[in-house]
């Protein structure tokens, strides 16, 4: 309930402070907002390219096939097999991850160990590929350096941490 | 690396569709996704215009500088390349604040603006050190209260929908710390390589 107050209060704070300091608020709003147009346009090729590649991978069934491939290996490492699809999908596609999370919670129940692991995983990491695409794309940077490697490795730590923390807190 | 991953996603998908007999689905997905990505960009454009406009007002009012000043000891350590009074700091902090409060749709425009300020500082088309650190923080997620997940749990009648806040917080803290350390590690590796040349 408090969260519905956040955004209006931030807007209020900014506008009141600016008005007191004699900032021409409307003119500055329009001036700053203009930048959003070019950023969004610059983003388009990056987003179209990335989303189409992911869509091909998903719709062909290759993503599911990859999961059945990886799962015996994961099982041997002591990784709970049920949450593996989420772990693999989480950094690649936000919508796919959300549907996998929902599915897991629905099947195993929100208060099961698997349900808690899925919830924690979903909440504690973000869609790395999407973030890199959008943030680099909007400012026109093509060479990402080590950003992808760093992001994916941090995701891996986050996923393993989710499992261990849930086992530790709830098992 | 991104070139290889991008091509692999599409190539593996198409070859697999050939074997699996799902070429029709692939065709449909391609054109559906082209439409979807334009729609996403358009709705993002509205959000970008709104928040960038508002943040410009906040910047002129000195609010971003005040925010940067309050967190100076932490952020100057995380981003040693950015001058301490630079507007980039203010945008980085507003992005992190919005992320922590779970305001995803305000966080993205502020993050993109922060990237633009960092690009101005580096003056290059290549990802700079600060950009990589900044994105490492963003991809590891900074969310304190995972509202979407709580909503899903409520929908499926969880006895304690919010109990995962504690586990999420711990996991987020671990992954964020890992992101910072991994980022540092790669940065020093890069420096070592440069020195040898």
Tell me the per-residue pLDDT of B21-46, one tens digit each, with 9 for 90 and over: 999 999 999 999 999 999 988 888 99
- B94 in contact with A, Cβ within 8 Å: no
Q: Does B162 touch chain A (CB under 8 A)?
A: no
Q: Report the 3 state secondary structure along B65-100.
A: HHHHHHCHHHHHHHCCCCCCCCHHHHHHHHHHHHHH
Residue A85 CB neighbour total at 10 angstroms: 23
Does residue B136 contact residue A150 with C-beta atoms inside 8 Å?
yes
Is A17 at the interface with chain B, CB within 8 A?
yes
Q: Which residues contact B3 (CB under 8 A, 6 or more apart)?
A: none
pLDDT score of A2 more than 70: no
Alpha helices in A60-143 (DSSP H): 62-76, 84-89, 94-108, 113-124, 128-138
Tokens 């719709």 correspond to A59
Q: Is the pLDDT of residue B103 over 80?
A: no
Max distance between CA atoms of chain B, in angstroms, equals: 61
Q: Which helix (H) or strand (E) holds A161?
A: helix A147-170
Measured distance CA(B83)–CA(B75) in Å, rounded: 11
CB contacts, 8 Å: A21 with chain B: 60-62
Which of A2, A12, A34, A52 to probe the B interface (max B CBs under 10 A)? A52
Alpha-carbon gap, residue A15 to A25, rounded angstroms = 7
The single-letter DSSP state of residue B165 is H
Cα gap A19→A97, rounded to integer Å: 43
Please state, in angstroms and rounded to a whole number, the distance separating the CA atoms of residues B81 and B191. Answer: 14
Its ipTM equals: 0.86
Among chain A residues, CA nearest to B147: A123
Suggest the residue from A21, A51, A154 to mutate for an interface test with chain B (most B CBs closer than 10 A): A154
What would the DSSP string read from start to end of A124-160?
H---HHHHHHHHHHHTT--B-TTHHHHHHHHHHHHHH
Residue A153 burial (CB count, 10 A): 22
User: B72-106 burial by CB neighbour count: b if 16+ within 10 A, else e?
Assistant: eeebeebbeebeeebbbbbbbbbbbbbbebbbeeb
3-class secondary-structure state, position B126: strand
Contact B81, B133 (CB under 8 A): no
Q: What is the pLDDT of residues A58-81, one digit of tens each?
A: 899 998 888 888 888 877 877 888
B50-80 confidence digits (pLDDT tens): 999 998 999 899 888 888 888 888 888 999 9
**Chain B closest CA to A63's CA: distance in Å?**
8
Give the CA distances from residue B36 to residues A48, A126, B8, B90, in Å, rounded to whole numbers and listed in that order.
9, 20, 22, 32
pLDDT band per the 50, 70, 90 thresholds, residue A3: low
- The CA distance from B111 to B193, in Å, is 30
Give A 67-86 residues with CB within 8 A of chain B.
none
Question: Is residue B39 within 8 angstroms of chain A, CB to CB?
Answer: no
pLDDT digits (tens, 9 = 90+) for A99-141: 889 999 999 999 999 999 999 999 888 899 989 999 999 998 9
The model's pLDDT over A138-161, given as tens digits with 9 standing for 90+, comes to 998 988 888 999 999 999 999 999
């Amino acid at each position: 309930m408090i969260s519905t107050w956040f955004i209006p209060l931030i807007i209020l704070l900014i506008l009141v402070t600016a008005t007191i300091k004699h900032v021409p608020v409307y003119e500055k709003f329009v001036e700053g907002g203009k930048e959003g147009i070019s950023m969004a346009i610059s983003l388009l090729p990056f987003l179209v390219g990335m989303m189409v590649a992911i869509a091909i991978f998903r719709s062909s069934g290759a993503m599911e096939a990859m999961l059945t491939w990886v799962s015996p290996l994961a099982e041997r490492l002591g990784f709970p097999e049920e949450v593996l699809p989420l772990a693999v999908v989480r950094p690649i596609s936000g919508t796919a991850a959300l549907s996998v999370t929902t599915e897991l919670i629905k099947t195993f129940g929100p208060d099961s160990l698997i349900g808690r692991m899925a919830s924690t995983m979903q909440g504690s990491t973000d869609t790395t590929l999407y973030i890199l695409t959008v943030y680099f794309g909007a400012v026109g940077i093509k060479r990402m350096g080590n950003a992808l490697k760093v992001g994916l490795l941090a995701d891996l730590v986050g996923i393993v941490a989710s499992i261990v923390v849930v086992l530790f807190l709830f098992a | 690396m991104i070139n290889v991953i991008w091509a692999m996603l599409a190539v593996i998908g198409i070859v697999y569709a050939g074997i699996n007999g799902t070429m029709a689905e692939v065709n449909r997905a391609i054109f559906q996704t082209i439409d979807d990505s334009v729609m996403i960009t358009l709705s993002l454009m509205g959000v970008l215009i709104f928040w960038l406009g508002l943040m410009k007002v906040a910047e002129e009012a000195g609010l971003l500088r005040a925010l940067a000043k309050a967190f100076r000891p932490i952020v100057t350590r995380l981003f040693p390349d950015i001058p301490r009074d630079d507007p980039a700091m203010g945008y980085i902090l507003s992005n992190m604040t919005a992320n922590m409060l779970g305001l995803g749709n305000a966080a993205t425009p502020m993050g993109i603006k922060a990237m633009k300020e960092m690009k101005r500082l580096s003056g290059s088309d290549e990802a700079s050190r600060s950009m990589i650190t900044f994105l490492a923080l963003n991809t590891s997620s900074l969310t304190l209260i995972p509202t979407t997940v709580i909503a899903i749990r409520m929908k499926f009648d969880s006895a304690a929908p919010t109990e995962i806040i504690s586990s999420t917080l711990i996991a987020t803290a671990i992954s964020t710390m890992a992101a910072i350390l991994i980022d540092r590690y790669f940065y020093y590796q890069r420096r070592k390589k440069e020195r040898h040349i």
